[in-house]
Amino acid sequence: MATTRTLTIIKPDGVQQHNIGDIIHAFEQHQLKIIAMKMLHLTKNQAEGFYAVHRDRPFFDSLTTFMSSGRVVVMVLGGDNVITRLRELMGATDPAKASAGTLRKQFATSIEQNVIHGSDAPETAAFEISYFFSELDISK
């Protein structure tokens, strides 16, 4: 399989709950290579730009308000089939429906405050990575 890239975000609840180290440890245990990483505090406008695809959804305002409520950690991950592998590790969006051992089952408190974001497709990953990182930021 070809090595691919994806974007992940430890959301404000994960940062506030001090889950950063646990989540990074899980990435490393699952051979998801961290290629780039930074901590940010998104503005409401930045969160709206990132989640623009959901602008017409009823949860858009609450999601972007939440995502701009505190610091986040954004990372580019790499590896074979990394998008699928990360999404399996993340678990279902609703932590009540997430499988045991997934990040959301372990750390999330609600459908919206679910600790982690991950790109869902190669095209999405390309947009999301470029939203936060330039090619100069990403080590080869």
| Average pLDDT value for residue range 55-67 | 96
Which pLDDT belongs to residue 139? 62
| Average pLDDT value for residue range 37-55 | 97
Q: What are phi and psi of 82, to 5 degrees?
A: -60, -35
| Average pLDDT value for residue range 67-88 | 97
Q: Residue 117 catalytic?
A: yes
Determine the Cα–Cα distance for residues 95 and 108; give it in Å rounded to an integer.
6
CATH superfamily assigned to domain 3-134: Nucleoside diphosphate kinase-like domain (3.30.70.141)
Q: Exactly one of 25, 30, 54, 117 is catalytic; which is it?
A: 117
Q: Up-side HSE of residue 42: CA atoms within 13 Å toward CB?
A: 24
Find the DSSP H helices in 19-121. 20-29, 44-50, 60-67, 82-90, 103-107
Nearest CA-CA partner of 12 in 47, 56, 51: 47
